[in-house]
Chain A
Amino acid sequence: MTKLVLLCLKCIILCSTIEAVFEDQVGKFDWRQQYVGKVRFSHFDIHVQSSKKVLLATEKNVFAALNTRTGELFWRHVDKAGPEGNIDALLQHGQDAVLVIGNGRLLRSWETNVGGLNWEVVLDPGSFQSACLVGQQDTVKYMAVQKKTAISLHYLSNGHQRWIENLPESETVDYQAVYSGGNGEVYVLGVVPHSHITIVAYSVDDGEIIKQISVKAPWLSSIRASCTVVGQGMLTCVDSATASFYMLDLHVQPQMTQISLQSLGLDIYPGFRPGLLSTQPNPARPPLSEFFLQLGSEHYLLLQLNNGQIVSLRDFKPAMLASFATTGEKTVAVVMSPKNRTACSVNLFSADTGRRLLDTTLIFNIDPNGGKPEKLYVQAFLKKDDSVGYRVMVQTEDHTLTFIQQPGRVMWTREEALSDVVTMEMVDLPLTGTQAELEGEFGKKADGLMPMVMKRLCSQLILLQAWTAHLWKLFYNARKPRSQVKNDVTIENLSRDEFNLQKMMVMVTASGKLFGIDSKTGNILWRHYLDNIPPNAAFKLMVQRTTAHFPHPPQCTLLIKDKDSGLATLHVFNPIFGRKSHITPPALPQPILQSLMLPLMDQDYAKVLLLIDDQFKVSTFPSTKNVLQQLQEMASSIFFYLVDSSQGKLSGYRLRKDLSTELIWEVIIPAEAQRIVSVKGKRPSEHVHSQGRVMGDRSVLYKYLNPNLLAVVTESTDLHQERSFVGILLLDGVTGRIIHEAVQRKARGPVHVVHSENWVVYEYWSTKSRRNEFSVIELYEGMELYNSTAFSSLDRPHAPQVLQQSYIFPSSISTMEATLTEKGITSRHLLIGLPAGGILSLPKMFLDPRRPEIVSEQSREENLIPYSPELLIRTEWFVNYNQTVSRVRGIYTAPSGLESTCLVVAYGLDIYHTRVYPSKQFDVLKDDYDYMLISSVLFALFFATMISKRLAEVKLLNRAWR
């Protein structure tokens, strides 16, 4: 018996599809883009004059080095997501970069040339406050890490702790900053808000407290926000209420001296929020005595501290950003000021005098579809004639990094917003211009015979022209080597290919920037930044009109909802060109709960969008008379459901003719015991080709294909491993009828669900056996169809048969999605994003509740694999071979024009696009198909037939003569 089973398995393994790509197919159908996220800290590698590196530490917990010439990654280290891997500080010294990670949990030193780890040290627990390099006699050997209650000094060479000291009175004093001026002392600055400043000085050698003083400062609430150390240890604070500077010498500290801003000749308007910016080029020496004072959003002041007196060097107004840069012994001030509406100019100023340096203007063109500049990172270098040259990296509000060289040449841009894609859609490209022209001819209304003839001739002429141009291009390119022929896709020559494999990927990012990406090459074809997006907005992207209705442009609608106020806005745009549509979306004065796309169309072929507000009233977009009339006719068959996970309530509504709604059902899941994690319906674009499954005896088991079925996943609030559970509820969205309920005891989330056709697959963590498990539920109607022509949830007397099976999966997963094809003939695969960066294509065949434990004749006839609890991960199932996709957040699948092919986009920190063929390419000739051989054989056979026919005729004639 076992032999038989083994034989069966072997057969199946041999017969099942081979997914792996061949070596020469690498990069042919797929591409990957790697991102780092919004930059938090950035340092230019300045210890070598000709260095091409910029180090970035980002809010996505990524530490990376970029090539400043090309913008490509030299190396990248992705730490844990969330607060555990949060990068708190980045200190750079020479070749080493030291990171403080996870709220002061770890200290890591990286070698910046190759990105290797020098050392890693686990710090004592405590909330991290600040860190700085500590130098002594012009050499930097230590770094200080200051936490809420303690300060420790570490060797830079190996991370070992030199000493650790508790901070005095840490319960009352809020220690916020640490400073070292290179004189063998480390100062910790703390504040009791609105009372006094506490300064503790430690000796670098043994951690002994040299002195501890407190100075009255009733106006101060936070050191980090309003204070900085300038010059020879002069703590300088600025207070907006009294509009004055307060200065305190850390070495002498008798008293705080107050200098009014008015005395500097500054006019202060009330309510300004000042900021200070100083620079300490060498940690072994005190900071420079020059510093910036920011007075308003576009007003900077370069000041100098001179023998206790503050001198104003230069007033920059308007100035958007200001920064310092140091090369060698020279320090310059860099100021970006607006030039006109579309450009900014960046200038260098001597830090000592405030004098403008000649020939240092750099023009930065603001992208009209981007955000405003937010941060300025300057790489200064000494030219051959000892003057200072520089390049700048500008970070804008939309998380874009732009690297610019003088006099304004953009060397590269990186769209770091793409590291945080929230939702996406794939839209068909339009036909080529000529095809569209032809279609347009028939689309327009006829206006007489002659004009029609003329129009026809014109379009034929255009076609001829396009064809000759194409021929000429072919001829021209034929002489070049193949590698040099570049197929640049631009927005102008964008057109649908033969099998609709090339599509436009519309991506919505958390920063509010929209992107249009060509799916074939990964080029960004358009970008559009929506400003004033609230930081915790929810997005929903819908395609209202596809490209199929030619004279009307395709139309996408993005619903943006502010989670705090509940108010929503609509952004209507053309997904091919990214332009905002001229259609004005309706104003939505009420908070919006959900939206619903109806299959109805208005006279312009735009699908109707229903928006449900918090009064459960419905508004439509577009809301023409035609639409309202159609809606009135259809109203009785339009239903929607809302899930409120905070109250554990699912409710179903029906639309009335007057566009109000009535509650028709409600399911309460007690929020104390379990909470609703996710609700998954079926994808409306999904086609199911086969209505049933053929059994071994050749009868049919019909699938229960309820388009209104919802899979509701709940997790227990009790997380104790004996009592936690995961529940799954299959519910009809129209009637609220519970079709099936399953509870997985001793299980815990996160639960990943895929709901498609007649099956639901979910994955959870089993706390009992401490492993990841997959479970699959399949629903069948039985051996007979109740109603084969129409499906109505209101008329379903029989409950479906439910089958379920579970399996062990060897890895945890980050996301899961099912493949989707045009007609649904191709078998389905599950695409599973693994935390290790692989994307696994697991045949659904392995997740089949009908897998028998004992093999029988019938099950063999059905090609069922005998049940085995373990699901294996086979390496050839990885669709992204060695192209690791970090932190996959979502996988999007779209059908192509070929039934065998499904387009896949995995997004997260990286973006990866590929094609998958779940049943192999049954409708395409292979890549290595030997056209030459086949056609030559055909021709040879043809000629052989001709010749032999002739020969036969001659022979026949000769015989007749005999």
Chain B
Amino acid sequence: MASPGGQAGGGGALSTRGGSGARRMKWALELSLGNTRSRGDRQGGQGDVVYPIGYSEKPVPDTSIQETDKNLVEKRCWDVALGPLKQIPMNLFIMYMSGNTISIFPIMMVCMMAWRPIQALMSMSATFKLLESSSQQWLQGLVYLIGNLLGLALAIYKCQSMGLLPTHSSDWLAFIDPPQRMEIMGGGMVL
């Protein structure tokens, strides 16, 4: 952000102004002719400082720069919103590479893949705050959500293809109680 003070350096006479009158100058350059004054004079006669032409005390809003900033923010917000979607091809590749065997690395990958969208979904409000400045906040939020959900679905699909999900009847086999016996029977060879 350009500051108004910086622009003032463009003129021939420079007067370093403090934010307040109480500030002491370390040094000062007086370019006015024949008007050499002592320090004490300067101090006393501050109100007489002559500003260059066109200088105004109030900063002038820079309209052109404001416009590009807005575009930038928009772009940035879209970046944020599309982030999870962009990761999906990468994840697919990792998934393909890691295979379906159950060992420590694929499990770690799957965990990471599942954990990241969950984490993102949990911090959804923070992301929304980030997107606050954008005009398409809701659309971006939706895209972000969809992206994360897709990531999660991918992780679940990976779990499924690795056989980690209890979707088969065999996964519930251990919970089946033995059937109750309705008849009592006994006997044997005649002793």
- Taking beta carbons and an 8 Å cutoff, which residues of A are in contact with B? 538, 540, 559, 561, 563, 568, 592-599, 610, 612, 634, 637-645, 676, 678-679, 681, 687-692, 694-695, 698-700, 705, 707-708, 733-734, 785, 787-794
Known: A691-B176, A788-B179, A790-B179. A592 touches B187 (CB 8 A): no
The 9 closest A-B pairs by CB, nearest first: A596-B186, A792-B182, A640-B187, A698-B168, A694-B170, A641-B187, A791-B179, A538-B191, A708-B185
Q: Chain B interface: which size bin?
A: 20 to 34
Known: A692-B173, A694-B170, A699-B169. A540 touches B183 (CB 8 A): no
Closest to B180 in A: A790
Q: Is the CB of A561 within 8 A of B191?
A: yes
Known: A692-B173, A694-B173, A733-B185. A593 touches B191 (CB 8 A): yes
Interface residues in B122-176 (C-beta closer than 8 Å to A) = 163, 168-171, 173-174, 176
Query: Does B60 sit within 8 A of A, measured CB to CB?
Result: no
| 18 A-B pairs whose Cβ atoms sit less than 8 Å apart in the complex | A538-B191, A563-B191, A610-B186, A639-B183, A641-B187, A643-B188, A643-B189, A645-B190, A679-B188, A692-B170, A692-B176, A694-B170, A698-B168, A700-B168, A705-B179, A707-B185, A734-B183, A790-B180
Closest to B171 in A: A698
Return chain A residues, CB-CB under 8 Å to B169.
Answer: 699-700
Q: Is the CB of B191 within 8 A of A690?
A: no
Cβ of A813 to closest chain B Cβ, rounded Å: 21
- Taking beta carbons and an 8 Å cutoff, which residues of B are in contact with A? 163, 168-171, 173-174, 176-191
Give the contacting residue for B182; candidates A593, A597, A637, A688; CB below 8 A: A637
Q: Is the CB of B186 within 8 A of A597?
A: yes
Closest to A539 in B: B191
Q: Is the CB of A594 within 8 A of B173?
A: no
Return chain A residues, CB-CB under 8 Å to B170.
Answer: 692, 694-695, 698-700
Give the contacting residue for B187; candidates A563, A599, A733, A793; CB below 8 A: A733
Other A-B contacts than A698-B163, A700-B168, 16 sampled, CB-CB below 8 A, are: A540-B191, A596-B187, A638-B183, A639-B184, A640-B185, A640-B186, A642-B189, A643-B187, A644-B190, A645-B189, A698-B168, A699-B168, A699-B169, A734-B183, A791-B180, A793-B182
Q: Is the CB of A594 within 8 A of B188?
A: yes
Q: How far is the CA of A733 from the CA of B184 in the complex (A)?
A: 10
Q: Is the CB of B181 within 8 A of A707?
A: yes
Known: A692-B173, A698-B163, A699-B168. A637 touches B183 (CB 8 A): yes
Q: How far is the CA of A642 from the CA of B185 in the complex (A)?
A: 11
Q: How far is the CA of A733 from the CA of B183 in the complex (A)?
A: 10
Q: Is the CB of B173 within 8 A of A642?
A: no
Q: Is the CB of A793 within 8 A of B183?
A: yes
Closest to B189 in A: A643
Q: Is the CB of B176 within 8 A of A788?
A: yes
Return chain B residues, CB-CB under 8 Å to A695.
Answer: 170
Cβ of A139 to closest chain B Cβ, rounded Å: 57
Closest to A592 in B: B191
Q: How far is the CA of A705 from the CA of B177 in the complex (A)?
A: 12
Q: How far is the CA of A688 from the CA of B163 in the complex (A)?
A: 26
Known: A637-B183, A694-B170, A793-B183. A688 touches B178 (CB 8 A): yes
Known: A700-B170, A700-B173. A708 touches B183 (CB 8 A): yes
Return chain B residues, CB-CB under 8 Å to A563.
Answer: 191
Q: Is the CB of B183 within 8 A of A690?
A: no
Cβ of A750 to closest chain B Cβ, rounded Å: 16
Return chain A residues, CB-CB under 8 Å to B188.
Answer: 594, 641-643, 679, 681
Cβ of A411 to closest chain B Cβ, rounded Å: 40
Return chain B residues, CB-CB under 8 Å to A640.
Answer: 185-187
Give the contacting residue for B191; candidates A594, A699, A789; CB below 8 A: A594
Return chain A residues, CB-CB under 8 Å to B191.
Answer: 538, 540, 559, 561, 563, 568, 592-595
Q: How far is the CA of A699 from the CA of B170 in the complex (A)?
A: 6
Known: A694-B170, A705-B179, A788-B179. A642 touches B187 (CB 8 A): yes
Known: A540-B191, A644-B190, A687-B178. A634 touches B184 (CB 8 A): yes
